[in-house]
Amino acid sequence: MSFKMLIQTIPYLLLALLVIAILIPACAPNFNTAARTKEYKTVLTKSQDAAPGNEESLNAFTTFLQKIDDQAYVESNAAKVYAPDAYLNDTLVTHHGVEQIKAYFLNTAETMTQYQITVDDMVSSGNDHYVRWTMVFAAPKLNGGKPVESVGMSHVRFNSIGQVIMHQDFWDSGTNIYGQLPVLGGVIESIRKRFEK
């Protein structure tokens, strides 16, 4: 092989390596699913004696959800809304304690260029509260910076002073986050289409 041919094939080799580097982790099984489910059920058991919550605590929570793009608001209200030992899983990550939760939301606010959440419905059953929402968000690395729209639901429980002790989100993060990333989004879409057949 001549030197000129070798130089011409380098970009193709680099592209192939990039595709392999993206596809291998994307296709690897997620061994954390059982652990995440177990952790959620453990948190449910530990918080089964949660306070019933009330309109004020639900309003504080939904207002916080609607303002997580405001770093100053998150900074000054996270410890009012979330208990010191609160649990949060938003399907992407799990955080324990108000300081981790606050840091996560501050980082989220910093990366978003657009954010709006509309509370569509709320229902309570004993000490369990379910908030159904529609979210529109944009970030430079997702969907070319264009807005992404998603629906989801938050399951929350409160302590005796109205702070969130458990917050579990249910939404399609695969389509609405990972599916919006360059290259990986195309892979996810092709897999989705195969399942439709």
Q: What is the pTM of this model?
A: 0.73
- Tell me the torsion sign for CA atoms 180, 182, 183, 184: negative
CB 53 within 8 A of CB 129: yes
- Is the four-CA dihedral 95, 99, 104, 105 of positive or negative sign? positive
| Residue 39: C-alpha distances to residues 3, 89, 94, 123 (Å) | 56, 10, 10, 24
Out of 4-8, 117-121, 179-183, which region has the weakest mean confidence (pLDDT)?
179-183
Q: Which amino acid is at 138?
A: A
Residue-wise pLDDT for 90-122, tens only, equals 888 899 999 999 999 999 999 889 999 999 999
pLDDT digits (tens, 9 = 90+) for 141-151: 776 778 888 89
